[in-house]
């Protein structure tokens, strides 16, 4: 039997952002669904189970950021090396990324499995909720290495232009997870009375299937291999590149998560109406900026290839072109969200005060979306070009000195309430958007490719 030919998608300045981006859009949409389906289905099963699972997910989400250190950096490095046509180096990069994330995640899996219950006691979780939270975290945390390895494979496939694969797999595991949850909670396996444990088992099985599928796609479609032979002697420089790219990016994500927790604590002091409106508006916004996220991811892939191929001028023009189209559509989506806010908020509540406040918030959201779109598209491309530290330090500084600080000043001191918080977040996004736009225009990102000149 003839061996199947492996073909890497040719990515250059003419590559369609839409062609790369629409599968990422669908995948991100499905990721939001799978992130909430366990909680939604458990809410019909028990009043306490969703709270237990929610606490467990806080820990799992934080751990996921750690794995993204290697996974995210892999996407940047692979794109540049493919653009530079350094195919022989690619197998080494694949192998380092997979094995390092696997070893790191197995160690963390063992720790989580052993110490889940003490962790929840430190979090002061109610005693009645600890058994459900513990079994959920032990199962998903104990098998978190599945997600860690899967995330690296996904980045590899994306950087090779195979963005549809992630979409197909996300669709498949959503179906598997929902069917599994139904079987354990309401269907033929209900007699086991597993509840949260059954939902956790369903999630683990779906992640295992996802990993198997992505490995199959890798071997069928990707030029290159994963083998221990590429780790002898261990390529320290390759790992150093991954860490130097991944840690700043992950650090910014962690900082953002903490800043959002602090902003939420400020909102909580504004009253129940403000807190509920913030939660509902955030959920709606997650869907609203999916388009910007998908365009940013697609443009990042193209930018990485162009910079690796020493086509910085082409990358410069491509990012500006993507930014213009993303800005028009994203602002249009935000405007529509404002116009139909009474309808969207009514899915969550009939409280007239929340509906009125939500309408005002979504108006500010139009301005916020302008800044956020610029940030998403340009910053992702800056990182793809190897300009890692500047957007990281800018983001961490702005989110604390503008978003958090002015949320308190405008929301509490000036008495603007939740509107003041939203204005502060819009200020943060717009300020960063202006700064990174100027940096992109001036070329501060040029000359920072991670591909060595000697290579």
- The domain locations on the chain are 17-234, 245-442
Angle, CA of 336, 346 and 333, to the nearest 5°: 15
Where is pLDDT greater, at 76 or 65? 76
Answer whether residue 4 shows pLDDT above 50. no
Answer whether residue 407 shows pLDDT above 90. yes
Question: What per-residue confidence (pLDDT) applies to 244?
Answer: 87
Answer whether residue 404 shows pLDDT above 80. yes
CA distance 189 to 183: 5
Alpha-carbon distance values, 347 to 51, 297, 354, 409 (Å): 21, 30, 12, 31
Span 158-186, average pLDDT: 88
CA distance 54 to 61: 10
CB of 130 within 8 A of CB of 81?
no
Helices within 269-351 (DSSP H only): 272-288, 290-308, 312-339, 341-346
Question: What per-residue confidence (pLDDT) applies to 3?
Answer: 40
Question: What per-residue confidence (pLDDT) applies to 339?
Answer: 93
Question: What per-residue confidence (pLDDT) applies to 452?
Answer: 67
Highest mean predicted confidence (pLDDT) among 54-68, 140-154, 340-354 = 140-154
Alpha-carbon distance values, 412 to 271, 276, 404 (Å): 12, 17, 12
Span 276-290, average pLDDT: 80
Of 7-16, 107-116, 177-186, 333-342, give the lowest mean pLDDT range: 7-16
Share of the chain above pLDDT 70, in %: 94
CA distance 373 to 390: 18
Alpha-carbon distance values, 202 to 37, 130, 149, 184, 378 (Å): 11, 20, 19, 8, 38
Confidence of residue 156 (pLDDT cuts 50, 70, 90): very high
What's the whole-model pTM score? 0.79
Answer whether residue 433 shows pLDDT above 90. yes
DSSP character at residue 409 = I
Answer whether residue 423 shows pLDDT above 90. yes
Confidence of residue 39 (pLDDT cuts 50, 70, 90): low
Where is pLDDT greater, at 362 or 288? 362
Two tokens, residue 130: 């600890």
Question: What per-residue confidence (pLDDT) applies to 9?
Answer: 62
Span 92-114, average pLDDT: 91
Query: Which among 142, 170, 141, 174 is positioned nearest to 154, based on CA atoms?
Result: 170
Share of the chain above pLDDT 90, in %: 40
DSSP character at residue 47 = S
Where is pLDDT greater, at 272 or 154? 154
Question: What per-residue confidence (pLDDT) applies to 283?
Answer: 74
CA distance 337 to 363: 9
Arithmetic mean of pLDDT over the chain: 87
DSSP character at residue 5 = P
CA distance 362 to 422: 9
Confidence of residue 1 (pLDDT cuts 50, 70, 90): very low
Residues 6+ away with beta carbon under 8 Å from 378: 319, 323, 433, 436, 437, 440
Confidence of residue 348 (pLDDT cuts 50, 70, 90): confident
Q: How far is CA 273 from the centre of its chain?
A: 29
Question: What per-residue confidence (pLDDT) applies to 455?
Answer: 60
Question: What per-residue confidence (pLDDT) applies to 76?
Answer: 87
Two tokens, residue 182: 């139904």
Confidence of residue 36 (pLDDT cuts 50, 70, 90): low
């Amino acid at each position: 039997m003839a061996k199947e030919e492996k073909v890497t998608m040719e990515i250059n300045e003419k590559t369609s952002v839409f062609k790369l981006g629409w599968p990422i859009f669908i995948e991100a949409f499905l990721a939001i669904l799978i992130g909430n389906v366990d909680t939604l289905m458990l809410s019909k099963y028990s009043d306490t189970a969703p709270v237990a699972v929610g606490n467990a997910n806080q820990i799992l989400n934080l751990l996921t950021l750690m794995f993204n250190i290697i996974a995210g950096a892999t996407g940047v490095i692979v794109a540049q090396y493919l653009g530079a046509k350094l195919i022989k180096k690619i197998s080494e990069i694949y192998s380092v990324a997979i094995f390092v994330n696997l070893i790191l995640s197995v160690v963390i899996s063992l720790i989580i499995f052993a110490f889940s219950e003490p962790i929840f006691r430190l979090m002061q979780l109610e005693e009645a909720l600890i058994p459900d939270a513990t079994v959920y975290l032990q199962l998903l945390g104990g098998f978190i290495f599945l997600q860690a390895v899967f995330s690296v494979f996904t980045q590899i496939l994306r950087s090779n232009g195979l963005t549809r694969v992630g979409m197909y797999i996300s669709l498949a595991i959503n179906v598997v997870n929902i069917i599994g949850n139904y079987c354990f909670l309401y269907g033929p396996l209900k007699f086991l009375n597993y509840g949260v444990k059954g939902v956790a088992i369903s999630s683990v099985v779906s992640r295992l299937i996802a990993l198997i599928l992505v490995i199959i796609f890798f071997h069928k479609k990707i030029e290159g291999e994963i083998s221990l032979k590429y780790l002898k002697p261990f390529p320290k420089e390759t790992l150093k590149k991954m860490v130097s790219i991944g840690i700043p990016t992950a650090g910014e994500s962690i900082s953002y998560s903490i800043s959002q927790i602090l902003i939420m604590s400020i909102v909580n002091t504004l009253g129940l109406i403000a807190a509920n409106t913030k939660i509902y508006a955030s959920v709606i916004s997650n869907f609203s900026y999916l388009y910007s996220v998908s365009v940013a991811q697609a443009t990042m892939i193209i930018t990485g290839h162009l910079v690796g191929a020493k086509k910085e001028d082409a990358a410069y023009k491509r990012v500006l072109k993507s930014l213009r189209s993303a800005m028009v559509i994203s602002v249009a989506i935000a405007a529509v969200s404002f116009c139909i806010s009474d309808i969207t908020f009514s899915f969550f509540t009939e409280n007239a005060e929340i509906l009125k406040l939500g309408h005002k918030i979504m108006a500010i959201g139009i301005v916020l979306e302008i800044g956020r779109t610029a940030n998403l598209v340009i910053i992702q491309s800056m990182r793809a070009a190897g300009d890692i530290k500047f957007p990281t330090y800018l983001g961490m500084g702005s989110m604390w000195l503008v978003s958090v600080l002015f949320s308190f000043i405008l929301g509490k001191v000036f008495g603007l309430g939740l509107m003041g918080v939203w204005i502060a977040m819009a200020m943060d996004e717009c300020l960063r958007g202006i700064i990174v736009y100027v940096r992109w225009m001036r070329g501060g990102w040029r000359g920072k490719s991670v591909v060595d000149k000697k290579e």
